[in-house]
Amino acid sequence: MRLLTAWLLCAIACVAGTLDVYDIDVEGGKSVLVVSPSGESMLFDLGWPGYGGRDSDRIVAAAKAAGLKRIDYLVVSHYDLDHMGDAPLLASKIPIGHILDHGPLETSGKGAAERYAAYDKLPHSGVKVGERIPIKGVDVLVVTGAGKWITKPLPGAGKPNPLCATTPDKPNRPEDLEDNMSLGLLFTFGKFRMLDLADFEWDYDRKLMCPDNLIGSVDVYQVSIHGQDKGVSPALAQALHARVALMGNGPRKGGAPQSWDTLRGAPGLEDIWQLHYSLAGGSERNPPDHFIANPDGPIDAAYWLKLSANEDGSFTVTNPRKDFAKTYARR
């Protein structure tokens, strides 16, 4: 009887588990590793190419720390240099099961065709808005991609967004077109929700969230486009009512003062966590040191931030550099 009870308790604990998310330091690029309670994994973007394979090495280090021997899904949000990295190099260092993206290259720019040609040698396929990435144990819904977005409200969403009236237009520059091709993902694990729109910009935030909020509220917002002000619109960032914002900025990229003010003005926001101290933000527009993975200074140890979420909606964010963690109780 005791053995049966112990087995049942273990089975329940093993099934429950946590959804673990590693925001990897790729120096102002983007790379987020997601590990489902089932043990399946997804890497969302690869950071930069070059630098002696720096970012692929950092990704492999995070994967090993998570206990992974392979990456089940690699999702490339779009084909800008700081997101698509060097997929062939990464694939030579750790097995990759499936590679997904928003479809064929449609935009142009310096070196875009050459980067895509190297990537295109790997087997990959496109996913569309409304489809799901089939990772066992967590729901991953594609809400933006290839310049499109969901047009019907998700369950519990669809209310008029009053922030649309007070958020000014900010037209996108032609050279930023690829940013708005970004795959954007909504992660749902029980009552926990996290939104990551990669490099979706201000004008497209409005298309997604105006006149009605089609997403609803989330617990965690992976701040768009590294926290550059061209991508953090109040119509989205404040309407989400996120409790925590995770910002994948570099010391000199992202972390813009305007973005900081927008995030701090969001109802219900408790904390901003950053991969780097933002030099542009200065002392007034950076979080306390315990909430920054890599401080200002000549030595960069490439610490990541780790989020662990529970099905009841509670979650913990950990900064390994400071051996500091903060738990957010379920709403």
Model pLDDT, residue 1: 40
Distance CA 172, CA 180 (A): 9
Q: CB–CB of 225/199 below 8 Å?
A: yes
Distance CA 102, CA 260 (A): 29
Question: In sequence order, what DSSP letters do the residues of 61-104 get, joined into one string?
Answer: HHHHHTT-SSEEEEE-----HHHHTTHHHHHHHS-EEEEEESSS
Alpha helices in the chain (DSSP H): 2-16, 54-65, 81-84, 87-93, 112-119, 202-209, 234-237, 257-264
Q: CB–CB of 47/81 below 8 Å?
A: no
Model pLDDT, residue 176: 82
Q: Band of the pLDDT at 106, cuts 50, 70, 90?
A: confident
pLDDT reading at 191 higher than 50: yes
pLDDT reading at 11 higher than 60: no
Place of tokens 């920054």: 292
Q: CB–CB of 273/247 below 8 Å?
A: yes
Place of tokens 């588990």: 17
Residue 101's nearest CA partner among 127, 120, 130 is 127
**Does pTM top 0.85 for this prediction?**
yes
Which two structure tokens, joined as six digits, stand for 100?
A: 């997904």
Model pLDDT, residue 110: 79
CA angle 313, 132, 201 (to 5 degrees): 80
pLDDT reading at 3 higher than 90: no
pLDDT reading at 12 higher than 70: no
**What is the dihedral angle through the alpha carbons of 96, 138, 302, 178, rounded to the nearest 10 degrees?**
70
Distance CA 251, CA 187 (A): 28
Q: pLDDT, tens digit, for every residue of 248-277?
A: 999 999 999 999 999 999 999 999 999 999
Which two structure tokens, joined as six digits, stand for 44?
A: 């969302």
Q: CB–CB of 317/29 below 8 Å?
A: no
Q: pLDDT, tens digit, for every residue of 269-303?
A: 999 999 999 999 999 999 999 999 999 876 678 99
Q: pLDDT, tens digit, for every residue of 124-159?
A: 999 999 999 999 999 999 999 999 999 999 999 999
Q: Report the run of H or E that residue 16 belongs to, with start and end.
A: helix 2-16
Domains of the chain with CATH codes: 19-316 (3.60.15.10)
